[in-house]
Every structure is written in C-alpha cells, then in structure tokens.
Amino acid sequence: MEHALSDADAVPRSAFALEHASKRYGNVVALDDINLDFATGSTTALIGSSGSGKSSVLRLLLGLEWPDHGCVKADGHVLERSRLLALRRRVGYVIQDGGLFPHLTALGNLALLPRHLGWSAERIRQRAEELAALTHLPGDVLERYPAELSGGQRQRVALMRGLMPDPDALLLDEPLGALDPLVRHELQDQLKLIFDQLGKTVIVVTHDLAEAAWFAKRLVLMRKGKVVQDGRLEDLRKRPADPFVTRFVEAQRHLPEASP
C-alpha cells in the first residue's frame, strides 16, 4: 500500500529560520524583527543596498552574532551556544575576497578544518583534487600561496574550503563582489552549476539583482533591516510590494542602446 503524504511530509524541512530576530550595533539597527525560513535543499538570494541587513542575516545563522531579540533555528531547533561548533562543521561559509590565510598554501587553507576533524593527509588531498575539478581549478594551484593566485583562483579556493567537509549548507556573502566582470561572469556560471549539482541549502548575499536571479528563484529584498519583499524576480518586477522595490529594480543599470 502506498504511503499517503501527511501535511508535514509535504512541507520541506527547514534548514534555518529567523523568528522575530532583531540586532543592533549601538544606534544602528541591523535587523528589525524579521522572520525568514530557508527550506532544506533550497537556494535563496538575499539582495539589497549596503547596510540593508543581508550580511547580518548570515552572521546570525552562523552564530557569529547573536540576536538581541528573537531567535535563530537550525534544523527546527533553537540555536544554542553549546551547539555552535557542530553547526559550523555542517555549514560552509564563503566571504568576499576569500579570507584565505596568506601564510598557508591553497591546500593548507583547505586542510584546516579537515585536520581538526582528524582527516588523513591522503583524504584531504583526494577531497581537494575532487573540488579542484568541480571548480575548474588547475591542480598545480593547490601548492601556491594566496598572493600567487589571481582573484578568481582565490575565490575558487575559498569556495572549495567551504565545501571541503561536504557541508549540508553553504552561506556566501558577496562571493564575487571583488572580481572583474569577465571572471565574475565565468564564476557565476560555475557556481550556478555547482549549486544545482550538489543540491545543498544555499543562501547567497549580493547587491546585484541580475546575479541574484541567476543563482536563485527566491529573492529576498531587504532594506534598513527589514524584508521588503520575498518572491521571484517577476514578483518584484510586476507585483512590487513597496515603491522601494520598483526603485531598486529600475536602478539596475543596463548598457545603453547603440547609436544608429
């Protein structure tokens, strides 16, 4: 007999959630009583201008910051400080410019967490080579130091570092923001393929609407610590929830038309 789906079965399990979360830094309100839920296996893009609260969302989800009010949930449970280490082992985190340690080779940067987890040198090398192939990084780059790498190579290594322990989720904070347009376009394509292939929970922060729409069907537009609209690109274009949404969409610059 076939198993009938219950209502609970039909709803994707939540990987992360913010419930009435607020965060201040002195007089600056970073997050203002927001509610967000990120389903397991989904890809979400957080967009908005600088200071809108996008990066603060990621920092709360990782436990790098703690909400002043409200709570963070991971896998349906309220995040507690005693569970932070276990959480961070299951979540890859990639920031702009990569954040690589300059005194370590690319392989040395990749090996930091696996060594802490007790991996052998052989296992670390094998995993690094798998990810180098996935990210189209030449194998000899693994022996170079960050200063010897191009911007695109450093960002690939940063992505590989986030993926080394095969995490359940990947959080990316403006991962391509510092790259030149050609490299950025190439890595956008590669990241999209990687997101689709791996099927992980992905939350990516960007201020670029086109990039956000390329990565994810779900876009969360933020402003002054609040969620202004949560939906697809077509929702933002055709059914804006606020005049700011229209201004944000129209502010995305396009190339001028060629002169006759």
Q: Is 22 helix (H, G, I), strand (E, B) or coil?
A: strand
* Count of C-beta atoms within a 10 Å radius of residue 179: 20
pLDDT (tens digit, 0 to 9) for every residue of the chain, 260 residues total?
333 333 334 444 678 999 999 999 999 999 999 999 999 999 999 999 888 999 999 999 999 999 999 999 998 899 998 888 888 888 999 987 778 999 999 999 999 999 988 999 999 999 999 999 988 889 899 999 999 998 889 989 999 999 999 999 999 998 887 678 888 888 888 889 888 888 899 999 998 899 999 999 999 999 999 999 999 999 999 999 999 999 999 887 664 555 55
Indicate the residue type of 221.
L
| Length of the chain in terms of residues written | 260
pTM for this predicted structure: 0.88
* Count of C-beta atoms within a 10 Å radius of residue 154: 22
Nearest to 171 by CA among 62, 36, 24, 11: 62
Spatial strand order of the sheet with 14-25 comes to 28-39, 14-25, 69-74, 77-78
Contact 108, 187 (CB under 8 A): no
Query: What integer pLDDT is reported at residue 254 of this predicted model?
Result: 62
Query: What integer pLDDT is reported at residue 253 of this predicted model?
Result: 64
Can you give the residue ranges of every domain in the chain? 12-245
Instruction: Identify the architecture of domain 12-245 in CATH.
Output: 3-Layer(aba) Sandwich (3.40)
Q: Measured on CA atoms in the order 60, 135, 48, 231, is the torsion positive or negative?
A: negative
Task: Find the angle CA(20)-CA(22)-CA(24) to the nearest 5 degrees.
Answer: 175
Spatial strand order of the sheet with 226-231 comes to 91-95, 169-173, 201-205, 43-47, 218-223, 226-231
Contact 155, 179 (CB under 8 A): yes
Q: What letter does residue 104 receive in the DSSP assignment?
A: S
* Count of C-beta atoms within a 10 Å radius of residue 135: 20
